[in-house]
Amino acid sequence: MLDLLWIVPALPFLGFLILALFGARMPGKAAAAVGVASAGLSALITILIGISFISSPPQGRVYIQTLWEWFNVAGMNPSIALRLDPVSLTFIFVITFVGFLIHLYSVEYMEGEEGYSRFFAYMNLFVGSMLMLVLGDNLILLYLGWEGVGLCSYLLIGFWYKDPENGYAARKAFIVTRVGDTAMAIGLFILFTELGTLNIGKILEQAPLNWAVGSSLPVLTAALLLGGAVGKSAQLPLQTWLPDAMAGPTPVSALIHAATMVTAGVYLIARMHVIFTLAPVILTIVGVVGALTLLIAGFSALTQSDIKRVLAYSTISQIGYMFLALGVGAWSAGIFHFMIHAFFKALLFLGSGVIILALHHEQNMFKMGGVKNMLPVTFWTFIIGSASLVALPLITGGFYSKDLILFYAFSGERANHWLYAAGLLGAFITALYTTRMVVITFFGEAKTHLHRKPTWIMEVPLIVLAVLSTFGGFIELPDTLGHLTLFSGFIQTILPANSAEGAGISTELILQIVAAVTVILGIFIAYLFYYKNPEKVASFRWSSFGNTLHNYWKKGWGFDWLYDKLIVTPVVWIAEVNKSDFIDLIYTFIAWINRVFNRAFSFTQSGRVRWYAMGIALGAIITLTIAVFL
């Protein structure tokens, strides 16, 4: 069964090829069928492979399938080879399965758009590239997937290409992440120069043998890899591209900018965990970056009026939790949160997509209101997704995954109480902004009328994702609630376990109660302010202090402004000033000097004998003078 692995990425690539070559001439239905079928079959095969992998795991829990040798130069010999282990299996399951649901959803969402087949072509290319990213058995192949998903993200953000703003957002996403990728590329050069290989298995094996813990090379390498990770995962300081990325169609936001691609940084760090363990400083920085990002993004989410931007900041914030988990060495908790987050965030985006479409492409929450009764399925699934996002205790998947992260941050091997506090505060803010979003969107008076109702094609993915984001959490239960470690047991066969010795059941129970109280308190306060007494919020928001703070947070803490002043403007200025290339002046000058001499000499060629005679006389005098006096 495992030898079917190559088909999993091959199918979406095939779908892309068919759509790219013949899509323009295909009827819309056929194009959609190709797009959905390739993703669906890929998901089906992934599930079969997953069953076979779990029931009869290969030796060492790693299965490698080599397709062909890519190139071979002076010891650099990456293969096009796929590496399946518990981590990559989890990722390909999420990618293909959530990917399939979103493809299905898009059939209706994108109906009637110009470039219908182009959309599915890009989506298929994305799924294929993302699969290469997580399945690549060497870092160059991973880099191929890494850049490939960046490209698809660019193409899909700018899908509605006629609006220059979309194009700007698309370019921003590509260029900002490419800054991170460049750091990562240098990291790869170091790895190859020092370890002589870019094969993931060999790096994990060689690095501890060659490098001491905390020595400069692993620290530098880990820092550069982190640069790549923060770019793709929209963490500080490269988080600025993600909110703008919402310019793309909503299914794109759901798949690429929430569920899969943006978690690639988490994958990279987990994949290269050995390097990060050799560089404890950088691992701590990973945690700090996560903590800062989750707070900053949480506050920004609190001030947005565009529903998709709320979700975008929420995504940044939730990935912050994953980084925090990695930073405290809770590897499996980070991956677990990735999976649950993929379910509920895809659900929330798709739900918001239904509303946006139903209300004639209205994205401003303050112009919605009262959607509860218009779209009941969407409402209830959205509530389930939101509950998971705020980590409502006991009944949601998000509770179990977030609880695990907070637990390790408090009492794990690399526990850090500051990080724990940030995580807890983040949970409170999450409850605030989520409740705010739900209240404003679904409750109150309807400010607009229903434009169209979704059919089953859009509702089935919502229901499936709602089920997953609730029950997906039950495969990993804490000690206090039945102690089930299906997920972490599975992941920890490949990633190091994090023991929380010394932390007894009582600590765990107290932590859970604290977290639960925080969340419920958050929801309650938000309910009080945004539902019961919205005028109080409004009066604070429009006070001069409130207004300043609001605008500052709404604009993402001024990072865009800073980068614009610091980097973009100077570079553009230099480019503009030097448009005609100042070096050319040197040559223009040489040419000009020649022309001047030419004119001067041709002036002397006047053809008048007296001038010539005078010239000869003058020359003779000067020569004689020089000869006599010197």
Partner 1 sequence: MILLWLVIILMAGGIAAWIAAKWNVMAARWISLIATLVDFVLAIIIWVEHPSGITLGANAPWLVDFRWNWIPSFGISFHMAIDGLSLLLVLLTMFIGVLSVLTSWTEIEYRAGFFHFNLLWILAGITGVFLSLDLFMFYFFWEVMLIPMYFLIGIWGHENRIYASFKFFIFTQASSLFMLVAIVALYFIHGKNTGVYTFDYLQLLGTALPPAAEMWLMFGFLIAFVVKLPIVPLHNWLPDAHTEAPTAGSVVLAALLLKTGAYGILRFVIPLFPNAVRDFQVPGMILGAIGIIYGAILAFAQTDFKRLVAYTSVNHMGFVMLGAFALNELALQGVVMQMLCHGISTGALFILVGALYERIHTRDLNKMGGFWDQIPRMGGVGLVFALASLGLPGLGNFIAEFLILAGSYMANNWVTAVATLGLVASTIYSLRIMARVFYGRKPKIEKHIPDFNVREMIIMGSLIAAIVWLGVFPHPVLDTSRPAINNIINTTSQSSSMSNLKKPLLPVKTGTTVQLAGKSEKGGAR
Closest C-alpha among 228, 175, 431 to residue 314: 431
Cα end-to-end span (Å), the chain: 100
Interaction of residue 14 with partner 1, rule CB under 8 A: no
Those residues whose C-beta lies under 8 Å from the C-beta of residue 321, and which sit 6 or more positions away, are: 290, 294, 337, 402, 405, 423, 426
Length of the chain: 630
Interaction of residue 73 with partner 1, rule CB under 8 A: yes
Q: Which of 51, 571, 596, 620 binds partner 1 (CB under 8 A)?
A: 571
Interaction of residue 205 with partner 1, rule CB under 8 A: no
Interaction of residue 216 with partner 1, rule CB under 8 A: no
Nearer to partner 1, 145 or 251 (CB): 145
What is the three-class DSSP state of 172? Answer: helix
What is the three-class DSSP state of 50? Answer: helix
DSSP string, 214-283: T-HHHHHHHHHHHHHHHHHTT-TTSTTHHHHGGGS-HHHHHIIIIISGGGHHHHHHHHTHHHHHH-HHHH
Nearer to partner 1, 361 or 579 (CB): 579
Closest contact distance (angstroms) between CB of 206 and partner 1 is 7
The rounded distance, in Å, linking the Cα atoms of 50 and 87 is 11
Closest contact distance (angstroms) between CB of 238 and partner 1 is 12
Per DSSP bridges, beta strands 476-477 and 484-485 are antiparallel
The rounded distance, in Å, linking the Cα atoms of 70 and 90 is 26
Per DSSP bridges, beta strands 63-69 and 79-84 are antiparallel
Q: Which of 22, 54, 111, 114 binds partner 1 (CB under 8 A)?
A: 114
Q: Provide the token pair at 147.
A: 């850049």
Nearer to partner 1, 74 or 609 (CB): 74
Interaction of residue 628 with partner 1, rule CB under 8 A: no
Closest contact distance (angstroms) between CB of 224 and partner 1 is 10
Closest contact distance (angstroms) between CB of 75 and partner 1 is 4
Interaction of residue 112 with partner 1, rule CB under 8 A: no
Interaction of residue 66 with partner 1, rule CB under 8 A: no
The rounded distance, in Å, linking the Cα atoms of 551 and 542 is 11
How many chain residues interact with partner 1 (CB under 8 A)? 56
Closest contact distance (angstroms) between CB of 123 and partner 1 is 16
Interaction of residue 506 with partner 1, rule CB under 8 A: no
The rounded distance, in Å, linking the Cα atoms of 488 and 507 is 20
Interaction of residue 457 with partner 1, rule CB under 8 A: no
Contact between 85 and 136 under an 8 Å Cβ cutoff? The reply is: no
Contact stretch for partner 1 (CB under 8 A) within 154-162, 319-327, 352-360, 544-552 = 154-162
Nearer to partner 1, 231 or 298 (CB): 231
Please give the single-letter amino acid code of residue 442. Answer: F
Contact between 268 and 136 under an 8 Å Cβ cutoff? The reply is: no
Nearer to partner 1, 574 or 614 (CB): 574
Contact stretch for partner 1 (CB under 8 A) within 25-33, 282-290, 549-557, 581-589 = 581-589
User: Which residue's structure tokens are 């989506």?
Assistant: 123
The rounded distance, in Å, linking the Cα atoms of 360 and 450 is 8
Nearer to partner 1, 190 or 484 (CB): 190
Handedness of CA 462, 466, 469, 472 (dihedral sign): negative
Nearer to partner 1, 24 or 566 (CB): 24
What is the three-class DSSP state of 583? Answer: helix
Q: Which of 31, 144, 311, 439 binds partner 1 (CB under 8 A)?
A: 144
Q: Which of 14, 61, 194, 507 binds partner 1 (CB under 8 A)?
A: 194
Contact stretch for partner 1 (CB under 8 A) within 172-180, 379-387, 410-418, 433-441 = 172-180
Nearer to partner 1, 76 or 457 (CB): 76
Closest contact distance (angstroms) between CB of 153 and partner 1 is 13
Nearer to partner 1, 111 or 584 (CB): 584
Handedness of CA 381, 387, 391, 397 (dihedral sign): negative
Closest contact distance (angstroms) between CB of 185 and partner 1 is 6
Residues 586-615 that bind partner 1 (CB under 8 A): 586-587
Nearer to partner 1, 220 or 463 (CB): 220
Closest contact distance (angstroms) between CB of 628 and partner 1 is 40
Nearer to partner 1, 154 or 343 (CB): 154
Those residues whose C-beta lies under 8 Å from the C-beta of residue 557, and which sit 6 or more positions away, are: 296, 299, 300
Nearer to partner 1, 166 or 386 (CB): 166
The rounded distance, in Å, linking the Cα atoms of 592 and 613 is 30
Interaction of residue 69 with partner 1, rule CB under 8 A: yes
Interaction of residue 25 with partner 1, rule CB under 8 A: no
- Rounding to the nearest 10 degrees, give the CA dihedral for residues 573, 574, 576, 581: 170
Nearer to partner 1, 204 or 549 (CB): 204
Contact stretch for partner 1 (CB under 8 A) within 74-82, 435-443, 471-479, 500-508 = 74-82
Contact stretch for partner 1 (CB under 8 A) within 193-201, 242-250, 287-295, 325-333 = 193-201
Closest contact distance (angstroms) between CB of 166 and partner 1 is 8
Determine if the peptide bond prior to 461 is cis (ω within 30°).
no
Phi/psi of residue 52, each to 5°? -65, -40
Interaction of residue 445 with partner 1, rule CB under 8 A: no
Interaction of residue 583 with partner 1, rule CB under 8 A: yes
Interaction of residue 171 with partner 1, rule CB under 8 A: yes
Q: Which of 56, 193, 506, 605 binds partner 1 (CB under 8 A)?
A: 193
Residues 513-552 that bind partner 1 (CB under 8 A): none
Nearer to partner 1, 366 or 587 (CB): 587
The rounded distance, in Å, linking the Cα atoms of 382 and 282 is 37
Angle between helix axes 544-554 and 534-542 (nearest 10 degrees) is 90
Interaction of residue 566 with partner 1, rule CB under 8 A: no
Contact between 409 and 514 under an 8 Å Cβ cutoff? The reply is: no
Those residues whose C-beta lies under 8 Å from the C-beta of residue 290, and which sit 6 or more positions away, are: 235, 319, 320, 321, 322, 323, 324, 325, 326, 327, 419
Interaction of residue 261 with partner 1, rule CB under 8 A: no
The rounded distance, in Å, linking the Cα atoms of 363 and 328 is 37
The site for partner 1 (CB under 8 A) is made up of: 20, 24, 68-76, 80, 114, 140, 143-144, 147-148, 151, 154, 158, 161-162, 164, 167, 171, 174-175, 178-179, 181-182, 185-186, 188-190, 192-197, 206, 210, 571, 574-576, 578-579, 581, 583-584, 586-587
